[in-house]
Amino acid sequence: MKTSTLFTTTLLILALLFTSCTRQESTMTKQSFGKTPDGTEVFLYTLRNKDGMEARITNYGGIVVSLLVKDRAGKLADVVLGFDSLASYIKDTPYFGALVGRYGNRIGKGEFQLAGVKYTLAKNNGANHLHGGLKGFDKVVWSVDEKASVPGESLVLTYLSRDGEEGYPGNLAVRVVYSVTNDNALRIDYSASTDKVTVVNLTHHSYFNLAGAGSSAILDHELFIDAGRFTPVDSGLIPTGELKSVVGTPMDFTAQTAIGARINENYEQLQKGGGYDHNWVLNKPLASMELAARVYEKSSGRTMEVLTSEPGLQFYSGNFLNGTHVGKGGVKYQHRYGFCLETQHFPDSPNKPGFPTTVLEPGKTYSSTTIYRFSTK
């Protein structure tokens, strides 16, 4: 082969290699997930670690669409409930995988007072306000800070919630960083600042099933929650204000227990929630980053640990799932096919002076971190 031909061939090979690498890179990290009804295109970002753990996240609602985690044999399965298409998320979702705000969980009667001013929010859950209102952070298109994101490793989402949005005061600038780390964790770092005194309580709403999404109910999953107390609720699931001891009740998960072991007991709080749908008061010191809960699923060997800087944890046993949501792969999500562990400040804190405060003042930064870490046993 002539030197010039060899040179051209080498260049051609290098060029081909380069395009295939870049193409692979871009399809691996970002692809279209369709358009919202107003024509805004949203994307699906893939984060993957060295071990093959993979999260696919869309900037519509900051939703974790899938989360692939290995079982004890090294086989990956998707451990979160969700839909195949953006249209399904837009049509009707019980907050599958979403970022929830401005206030995760309930605010009684959709009202609160701040600095002498009364604020009225949407009542989108009976007489109460739930998960930020009619169009919470789960239903907005987040901006992606591509410069700050690390392709394949972290995704930086930002959203400016305008003064008065859903009835809340203050322009709130929110930043959420999702990362898939090499110790097999999905890490979520939240921060926010405001120009007027407001309330903030951000959380993440994945429904987990460690045996694989859509495979079965989660009643055999064994749960540990490091909490000696919980916040009992009224019939509208608004805390009464009491911090009640879990001792001697089916709310005691201080020793690892199957979720289904006591869920049907004749216990008033379980009846009010239709199962578990309560906030646990974590034992750890306020704002310190510690283990809050652990879940173990026998058949797969998967374990999930939840670490958080938040003082509370909403354990929701998927009581409102009833087979009407057709999830990924056409599978119907039946009663209790997924559970949520939502790290948070306590529900209705704006109306409960005794609870840790959710007030954010101008000049201060809200910050919160939660880690869902996976391993096998």
Q: Are 162 and 150 in contact, with CB atoms under 8 Å apart?
A: no
Given the complex with ligand BGC, which of 119 and 320 has the nearer CB atom?
Answer: 320
Q: Taking the complex as a whole, how short is the minimal distance between the CB of residue 40 and ligand BGC, in angstroms?
A: 24
Q: Which residue in 60, 89, 95, 372 binds ligand BGC (CB under 6 A)?
A: 95
Q: Could you say which of 129, 204, 342, 345 is catalytic? A: 342
Binding mask 295-314 toward ligand BGC (x if CB under 6 A, else -) reads -------------------x
**CA of 76: how far to CAs of 63, 71, 84, 171, in Å?**
20, 6, 18, 41
Q: Decide if residue 348 touches ligand BGC (CB under 6 A).
A: no
Q: Taking the complex as a whole, how short is the minimal distance between the CB of residue 18 and ligand BGC, in angstroms?
A: 47
Q: For residues 190 and 171, what is the distance between their CA atoms, to the nearest angstrom?
A: 16
Q: What number of chain residues touch ligand BGC (CB under 6 A)?
A: 9
Residue 221 falls in the annotated catalytic set: no
Q: Taking the complex as a whole, how short is the minimal distance between the CB of residue 139 and ligand BGC, in angstroms?
A: 13
Binders in 47-66 for ligand BGC, by CB under 6 A: none
Q: 121-127 — which CB contacts under 8 Å span 24+ positions?
A: 121/166, 121/167, 121/168, 122/166, 122/167, 125/236, 125/237, 126/236, 127/236
Q: Decide if residue 316 touches ligand BGC (CB under 6 A).
A: yes
Q: For residues 210 and 81, what is the distance between their CA atoms, to the nearest angstrom?
A: 10
Q: Which residue in 61, 62, 94, 239 binds ligand BGC (CB under 6 A)?
A: 94
Chain-centroid distance of CA 147 in Å reads 24
- What is the greatest pairwise CA distance in the chain? 87
Q: Decide if residue 342 touches ligand BGC (CB under 6 A).
A: yes
Binders in 200-239 for ligand BGC, by CB under 6 A: 237
Q: Could you say which of 205, 221, 278, 345 is catalytic? A: 205
| SS3 at position 96 | coil
Q: Which residue in 320, 331, 334, 376 binds ligand BGC (CB under 6 A)?
A: 320
Residue 325 falls in the annotated catalytic set: no
Q: How many CB atoms lie within 10 A of CB 127?
A: 10
Q: For residue 209, give the nearest of 221, 198, 197, 200 by alpha carbon.
A: 221
Q: Are 336 and 319 in contact, with CB atoms under 8 Å apart?
A: yes
Q: Taking the complex as a whole, how short is the minimal distance between the CB of residue 138 and ligand BGC, in angstroms?
A: 10
Given the complex with ligand BGC, which of 95 and 372 has the nearer CB atom?
Answer: 95
Q: Decide if residue 277 touches ligand BGC (CB under 6 A).
A: yes
Enclosing H/E stretch for 368: strand 366-376
Q: Decide if residue 276 touches ligand BGC (CB under 6 A).
A: no
- N- to C-terminal Cα separation, the chain: 58
Residues belonging to the active site: 205, 342
Interaction site with ligand BGC (CB under 6 A): 94-95, 237, 277, 314, 316, 320, 340, 342
